[in-house]
Structure 1
Amino acid sequence: MSEGRTAPLIAAKQVVPPVRPGAVRRARLHAPLLANAWSRLSVVVAPAGWGKTTLLSQWAHDPAETRCVVWVSLDEADDDPVRFWTYVLSALQRDVAGLGPAALRALSTPGLEPVDLALPTLLNELATVDGAYVLVLDDYHLVGSAAVHEGVEFLLSYLPPALRVVIAGRSDPPLPLARLRARGELTELRAAELGFRVDEAAALLTAVGETPVEPSAATVLTERTEGWAAGLQLAALTIRHAERPAEAAARLDGGDRHILDYLSLEVVDRLAPDHRDLLVRASVLERLSGPLCDAALDRTGSAAALESLDRADLFVTALDPRREWYRCHRLFRDVLLRRLAADPDARTRVLARAADWFLERGYVAEAVAHRIAAGDEGGAADLLRSQVPAFLERGELAVHLQLGRRLPAATVLRDPRLCVSLAWAAGLSGRFAWMGPWLDAAEKTIDDDSPTPEGWHTLRGAVATLRGVEYSIARADMEAALAAASEGCRLECDPAVAGYVMARTVLGAVLGLYGRPDEAVRVLDGVWNTARAIGLPPLLGLQAASIQAMVLGETGRTDQLRRLLAEVGPVVRAAQDRWGSATSPGIARLRTVEGELAHRDGDLAAAATLLRRAADLARTFGEPVAHVTALTALAQVELDGHDRAAARAVLAEARDVVDNEPVAPLTVRRLEAVEHRAGRTAVRDARRAGALVEELTDREQAILRALGGDATQREIGAALHLSINTVKGYTKILYRKLGVGSREDAVREGRALGLI
């Protein structure tokens, strides 16, 4: 991710909002937040206008709060796991002393879900840091992604003492609140607590209305608004501007419809024309800045206008101390949007110009989202189709896919290039099961006049190549994969484009898995050099090099293999510098080949180290063939080192993968051959300690019970309403706690301990 391109928006969303001048400090509400050291989670839940953000901002600035408060303001665009955790992890990395960049780098690694590596890495690092921290997630109700909620639940399940979490929103977050409440690990502030009391209301009315308020008037207004902060602020504005303040305030009855009507008639109409024009037309934008508003509204002076509105307490709030970014209170924005609804063309123009402003600054995802909001599905599709390299370079393929899913189905399905683009992004990000439907749609609309997608020589060649990936990995149908990959290689004949390298990489991989490595060597000859010559991104180049290395090793071409490994070494190191230990699936294969080469050279210790690393990488990426291949090679090393128990443990893990994922038949046969050599008739005996060292969480217990049945991990996830990656994340920790390496071991140990 290019830090220079994303810093302004990240900074605005990751700063504790400044306390508004004259804001009423409510110590009674600070107290439960200050005392939440034992609460894993605090929730501040109430409808719009109850002062949630204001309260949390004041508490965060309270000198009595000695912990460091890490703040993330959320919006609708954060409804994507990678984007959401990018903001959270970058904020934590900046503010938490001793926290390194490893988690954030893992998050940007193509092909990984946050629960695969980024969140476990974060938790491990948090367990070692000194100090105390609080993470605030404001406006959490705007996030609807089940994957995001699963990740937050995962974080809360293993939260170390150094960190506590506060979530603010209009509704309860879909998290295990009842479980946390029963354990005394939940603090709750709701509308009943947030409502202003009479003394607090009097202070607010006096501060905003700029004139003292009689206690009786404060009592009446508090009763009429039921302590609703937004209603009281309206009453204060009434007092400020009305000729007869008491009479004007008396008209306020607290009803939502009346409040909105009042905002429209009294507040908006009283604005200076320049300010009213800015706010009404900019209401379609989630966040506002001077340069953005100038560009989107085709005007000047927006920065000064926003600063003036903020100073006047007119429902515009600064998001950062430098007052570069602002947002409207959501109730106020609703009124403004109702005004703008009368001029839909103006709305479209603003969004279109905003999209251009974001694109000029390299914010491709924001540009696509604004074009979708503007109704420019064609323009959004063009950007998505042409910007796969940009998303790939930033590790934002998941964002690319999410934006594609936001487009109307008709727009996607009638554009075969966009279908190919989305299928390609799905394959590169490890979502192989998503590839099939988009490739099906592309095949239905391809004709001889179909334009060529970016990075490919022909549209049909792209589809055939990607089919080879889908058939081999998502379905383990090697015959169909071979036919598709061969056709892709025939059609992708231009060595100046990425498709040439992709097609030969896929065909070489399929031939290798089909048991024809000599043919694979011929297909892959020169592909790595071509990838370097045309400047392919490291992810694609390493894929090509790793497949070539594997087939060279299988055919005994060790001299060529050593030369290739020497050439690819600098690229591997550069990838590790960028992505940390996660790197890419290609490096898992390269480490496997290096381990097998060390084994062949007789260095069992080096071979075991390399192959364990390869297995770790493959395990992280969830690539079953690479995972099983690394484990099978490691078992061979353990057997040659006369550690039969270690070999059986490794083979048990490999068998677990084969039983739960589609794996090429040749890979399975190789595993069976090593199992036979090990004399494996059952997995190793489960470790019996009589008790667990660490207690299982509720999720781990549910998964352990499910493992005792016949359901696959994917089916277990569906039954528990969890993604397959989240199930795998919990399962890894479950295995560690039980001291086992496979499903069968886990079930046996669980039964021995009376857990199932």
Structure 2
Amino acid sequence: MDTKAPPTPAVSTKFQAPTYDDDGLVSRDRLIDVLREGRAKRLALIHAPAGFGKTTLAVQWQRVLRIEGVPVAWLSLDRDDNDVVWFLSHLIEAVRRVEPTLAGDLVDVLEEHSDDAQRYVLTELVNQVAEHRRPLAIVLDDWHLIDAPTTAAALEFLLDVGPDNLRLIVTSRTRSPAVGRLRVRNQVTEIDATQLRFDHKESVAFLLDLNALDLDSEDVHRLWSSTDGWVAALQLATLSLRNSDDPSALIRGFSGRHHSIGDYLAENVLNALPADLLDFLLTTSVCDRLCGDLAAAVSGQRRGQALLEDLERRDMFLRPLDDNREWFRYHHLFAGYLQRRLERDHADRIVTLHRTASAWFADHDLLSEAVTHALAAGNDTGAVDLVERQAMHLVEHSRMATLLGLVNKLPKFLLPSRPTLQIAVAWANCLLQRAQPAQTAIDHVRAALASATDDTSKDILGEADVVQACIDVYGDRIDRAATLVAPYIVDNPGYRPWLVAVSSNIRTFVDIHTFDYRTAQTRQQWANAFHATTRGPYAGVYGRCFAGLAAFAQLDLVTAERLYQEAVALARRVAGQHSHAARLAGAPLGRLYYERGETDAAERLLEECHELGAESGVADFMIVTYTTLARIKALRGDIEDVWSLLDEGDEAASQLALPRLSAAVDYERLRLHLALGDTGSAQNVLAHQTEEIARGDDGIAMATRHYQLTMRARILTAQGDYAGALRPLSEIFHESSSVAWRYAETTARIELAIVLSLSGDSDAAVHTVVPALVSGARSGLVRTVIDAGPELLKIVGRLRDAGRCRRWPAGLPTVPSDYLSRLLATAHADAERAAIPIIDRPAERNPTPEEPLNAREIDILRLLDRGLSNTEIARNLGLTINTIKWYLKSIYTKLGVARRGESVSEARRRRILT
């Protein structure tokens, strides 16, 4: 099987500090001492204009930390890092290069995931660093190139909630990132231009010791005074003074204005160079980084590597970017001089130079830089061509975020007319569950090919139908999906295996929700050959999970478990232990483990899927994640986590327009309110279901309607209207039976038996529930029975006793006594844990006056506001889960609330949070 291809090559020099010889640097001991004094602080911010030695100081500090045993990750930023997904992927790669055990699969999660990936990846990175316990430092060089709010927010997250063993070192031409909060908490060390200027002693060392200039003390003092210790000006001065017959006269002529000095010295340095070397400097200045082959291609001079090494020997502001001196970069200040002179003297050559650079990068599979240079050359069409040629390759290798980042660099007006590119954009957005952008791309495809009749165009339009069906399935719609994918699931289809595999999965989803469960499983057996030849794990993972859903619906839990386990194993083998695909597959498997009573294993899998947030697969996966995990949290007594989960699920349902998910979440809310004795709030939950679903053949609509009917029946039962409750439950039972939906039929029997028992008709309750218990014993249902509540467990207890006394009800099949005993034993263990403790609701409290929160409680509130779970808060603050829960109870008491979301809202009202 062809596993996932390697990603688009990362620029390795982004993750390496510039290489300086120790003998060629002035040691900044006084500044190192400042950094050493502040080493316990979260941030070291080194900010000044160009040419003040910010990066050089960061390199020296990196070397000090490494000598002391601290791993230091290095990330040289560029404009592309304004795309937050690219920034995070580069940040993770930088960390992995110095600590390979950290952040193993997080880049794949970013590529295969969407907007919620940013929160998840940052949180997971912080947690892994915290658990690692060893110190870790990260250098972010040239932060001033970042102006995107999303990327800035990512850094602010690391600054706000990073663990105590994480240190950030940021160099920037501006004072950003904002450090107000960190300064208040004494968590930032700042070094600015005033501190970075060479003092007199450092200037002497630079001019006399390093550069061996023949200057007397008065000349040195005058030069230091006139440049005010500006490092770049001093370096330019050394180059100019080496070629001067009268250094003292040159020094006396300095005006003292930094930028005019810089311009003057640069002109003198450049004019003194041989013509071929000057031309080499000017032409190669169009590239942000250079190697010998690239420099030769752009300059037209064959000796590219030799010329780069010559420039380095001449101290021409050329920095090596790696230990092998293969890649180089001009100092930003000097590159600016070169580019301005190129524009002044050879403006007619600039387009050709960028075209040549673009072609070189494209030939070496460095797509982002190829696109950048094509755009700089004004070759917008060529830039689009570059991305279009690689677009589907990126999608099929699960590099969706990379593709969309490249597309965002392109001129928007050229994109709608490119159907081949748009179909890839549609796939990328669809697989990231961004329905509206995916739909927009499909609309562009259809508009561009509206009148086309050639075979290629027809194929693209056909593929657009498959994407449309995929969008529909993620949106929990099946009304047209089967028709759209029909051409791709015939015998001997002549299409790419990936298209056939995806189409088979879509059709299987339709099979499940039209109750054709046997066909769903048979179809996936046919599709396995196509899954095996697709790149990446997704087709095979979804196929196995969908076949498992069909088996589960028929109460064949053995087959369902096998298929779910195969899906998880495939995802982990192909994409990694913690990949997006593995987490998706873990949702239905976690649901099955919970059903079997294996709560710990279920919780681990569901927590991992929950981290994916609102993009954790189709609605079926999201439902089992939010509702099953909520039940597990209730068993643990973590009621605040239950409310938080259900609130999050409701938000996801609203965001993605998923009525079935909304109904499932509300059903869990209603159950909990009734368990807490709060009928009024339960009625409010039912009122939240404003769109009443009509009867129909669509299984998605039927499931949504069944949730609503069950909620109505539960409220009627709580009000003592048993006859009223029996009517909707009987309707659910007959509908489920008519379509052979065995699991739904079984749960309907259980609900009916509870109401019958409460109404006093014990015999009818027993006759109704025994067939459900027989099915449960055969298939291994545990939690479905126990979670139905104490009234059903009374019936189970009476049946167990009847079996022991040989008084089993006449005419009914026997339920194995060991199964009944297991149900009762598990329920007893729940009671021992105080499964659903009674918690006062806000309306029932008499809040104390506005008691102030302490500093730790405010820190916890800030992390709550960022959406962190109790476990994540504990990791970030270095506290235990129980300590966090203790603080939460104190926060709730002081604020007069009972839920996480309410505490944040109240804190905002009181201006504790702003």
Q: In which range does the TM-score fall when normalised by the shorter chain? A: 0.7 to 0.9
1:147 counterpart letter in structure 2: T
Given the superposition, is the C-alpha separation of residues 93 and 373 from structure 1 closer, same or farther in structure 2, using an over 3 Å criterion?
Answer: same
Equivalent pairs counted in the alignment come to 713
1:668 counterpart letter in structure 2: S
2:251 counterpart letter in structure 1: A
Residues 271-670 of structure 1 mapped to structure 2, 5 A cutoff: 271-341=273-343, 343=346, 346-392=349-395, 396-449=399-452, 458-470=459-471, 473=474, 476=475, 481-483=477-479, 485-486=481-482, 488-490=484-486, 492=488, 494=493, 496-497=495-496, 498-506=498-506, 508-509=508-509, 518=517, 521=520, 525-526=524-525, 528-556=527-555, 561=560, 564-565=563-564, 568=567, 570-575=569-574, 578-584=575-581, 587-597=582-592, 603-605=596-598, 609-610=601-602, 612-623=604-615, 625=619, 626-633=621-628, 643=635, 650=642, 653-660=645-652, 661-670=655-664
1:695 is aligned to 2:856: yes
Q: Quote the offset at 1:161 in angstroms.
A: 2.6
1:161 is aligned to 2:147: no
* Bigger Cα Rg: 2
CA distance in 1, matches of 2:584, 2:324: 48
1:232 is aligned to 2:227: no
1:458 counterpart letter in structure 2: D
Which piece of structure 1 moves more, 363-372 or 328-337? Answer: 363-372
Which piece of structure 1 moves more, 291-300 or 648-657? Answer: 648-657
Given the superposition, is the C-alpha separation of residues 191 and 394 from structure 1 closer, same or farther in structure 2, using an over 3 Å criterion?
Answer: farther
Local SS of the residue matching 2:137: strand
Given the superposition, is the C-alpha separation of residues 746 and 203 from structure 1 closer, same or farther in structure 2, using an over 3 Å criterion?
Answer: same
CA distance in 2, matches of 1:649, 1:4: 37
Match of 1:719 in 2: none
Q: Quote the offset at 1:327 in angstroms.
A: 0.6
Q: Quote the offset at 1:311 in angstroms.
A: 1.9
Q: Quote the offset at 1:156 in angstroms.
A: 1.6
CA distance in 2, matches of 1:182, 1:287: 39
Given the superposition, is the C-alpha separation of residues 64 and 126 from structure 1 closer, same or farther in structure 2, using an over 3 Å criterion?
Answer: closer
2:145 counterpart letter in structure 1: L
Which piece of structure 1 moves more, 646-655 or 663-672? Answer: 646-655
Asked if the contact 2:112/2:398 (under 8 Å) is kept, the reply is: yes
1:127 is aligned to 2:130: yes
Q: Quote the offset at 1:374 in angstroms.
A: 3.2
Q: Quote the offset at 1:197 in angstroms.
A: 2.2
1:118 counterpart letter in structure 2: V
1:303 counterpart letter in structure 2: Q
Given the superposition, is the C-alpha separation of residues 73 and 659 from structure 1 closer, same or farther in structure 2, using an over 3 Å criterion?
Answer: closer
Match of 1:720 in 2: none
Q: Quote the offset at 1:240 in angstroms.
A: 0.7
CA distance in 2, matches of 1:248, 1:340: 26
Local SS of the residue matching 1:288: coil
CA distance in 2, matches of 1:194, 1:638: 54
Local SS of the residue matching 1:227: coil
1:115 is aligned to 2:118: yes
CA distance in 1, matches of 2:516, 2:66: 68
TM score, norm. by length of structure 1: 0.82
Given the superposition, is the C-alpha separation of residues 240 and 77 from structure 1 closer, same or farther in structure 2, using an over 3 Å criterion?
Answer: same
Q: Quote the offset at 1:580 in angstroms.
A: 2.7
Q: Quote the offset at 1:140 in angstroms.
A: 1.2
Q: Quote the offset at 1:130 in angstroms.
A: 5.3
Which piece of structure 1 moves more, 522-531 or 304-313? Answer: 522-531
Q: Quote the offset at 1:61 in angstroms.
A: 3.3
1:581-633 per-residue CA deviation (whole Å, 9 max, x = no partner) reads 2332xx44543433455566xx3226x62365135314325326323233334
CA distance in 1, matches of 2:569, 2:869: 35
1:76-121 per-residue CA deviation (whole Å, 9 max, x = no partner) reads 2333333323333333233248646355565555447553433323
1:37-83 per-residue CA deviation (whole Å, 9 max, x = no partner) reads 23210111111111111222233335896244332222223333333
* Unmatched runs of 5 consecutive residues or more in structure 2: 683-835, 842-850, 875-880
CA distance in 2, matches of 1:99, 1:244: 58
Asked if the contact 1:372/1:380 (under 8 Å) is kept, the reply is: yes
Q: Quote the offset at 1:284 in angstroms.
A: 1.4
Asked if the contact 1:521/1:551 (under 8 Å) is kept, the reply is: yes
CA distance in 1, matches of 2:303, 2:466: 52
Which piece of structure 1 moves more, 400-409 or 374-383? Answer: 374-383
Which piece of structure 1 moves more, 412-421 or 668-677? Answer: 668-677
Asked if the contact 1:206/1:236 (under 8 Å) is kept, the reply is: no
1:664 counterpart letter in structure 2: L
1:71 is aligned to 2:63: no
TM score, norm. by length of structure 2: 0.69
* Unmatched runs of 5 consecutive residues or more in structure 1: 705-726
Match of 1:139 in 2: 142
Asked if the contact 2:113/2:615 (under 8 Å) is kept, the reply is: no
Local SS of the residue matching 1:499: helix
CA distance in 2, matches of 1:262, 1:752: 61
Percent of residue pairs identical:
24
Given the superposition, is the C-alpha separation of residues 675 and 84 from structure 1 closer, same or farther in structure 2, using an over 3 Å criterion?
Answer: closer
CA distance in 2, matches of 1:357, 1:700: 52
Residues 43-62 of structure 1 mapped to structure 2, 5 A cutoff: 43-62=45-64
Given the superposition, is the C-alpha separation of residues 47 and 592 from structure 1 closer, same or farther in structure 2, using an over 3 Å criterion?
Answer: closer
1:123 counterpart letter in structure 2: V
Q: Quote the offset at 1:439 in angstroms.
A: 3.4
Asked if the contact 1:527/1:544 (under 8 Å) is kept, the reply is: no
What is the RMSD computed on CA atoms of the aligned residues?
4.1
Local SS of the residue matching 2:49: coil
1:113-137 per-residue CA deviation (whole Å, 9 max, x = no partner) reads 5534333233223224354343211
Given the superposition, is the C-alpha separation of residues 522 and 62 from structure 1 closer, same or farther in structure 2, using an over 3 Å criterion?
Answer: closer
Asked if the contact 2:129/2:166 (under 8 Å) is kept, the reply is: yes
Q: Quote the offset at 1:290 in angstroms.
A: 1.4
2:611 counterpart letter in structure 1: R
CA distance in 2, matches of 1:562, 1:451: 46
1:246-299 per-residue CA deviation (whole Å, 9 max, x = no partner) reads 222334335465346425531222223332222211111111111332344444
CA distance in 1, matches of 2:426, 2:666: 33
Residues 130-279 of structure 1 mapped to structure 2, 5 A cutoff: 131-175=134-178, 177-207=179-209, 210-255=212-257, 258-259=260-261, 261-263=263-265, 265-279=267-281
Given the superposition, is the C-alpha separation of residues 150 and 519 from structure 1 closer, same or farther in structure 2, using an over 3 Å criterion?
Answer: farther
Local SS of the residue matching 2:611: helix
Asked if the contact 2:286/2:354 (under 8 Å) is kept, the reply is: yes
1:228 counterpart letter in structure 2: W
CA distance in 1, matches of 2:299, 2:187: 47
Given the superposition, is the C-alpha separation of residues 267 and 190 from structure 1 closer, same or farther in structure 2, using an over 3 Å criterion?
Answer: same
Given the superposition, is the C-alpha separation of residues 655 and 5 from structure 1 closer, same or farther in structure 2, using an over 3 Å criterion?
Answer: closer
Given the superposition, is the C-alpha separation of residues 562 and 701 from structure 1 closer, same or farther in structure 2, using an over 3 Å criterion?
Answer: closer
CA distance in 2, matches of 1:146, 1:703: 21
Q: Quote the offset at 1:29 in angstroms.
A: 1.6
Asked if the contact 2:43/2:170 (under 8 Å) is kept, the reply is: yes
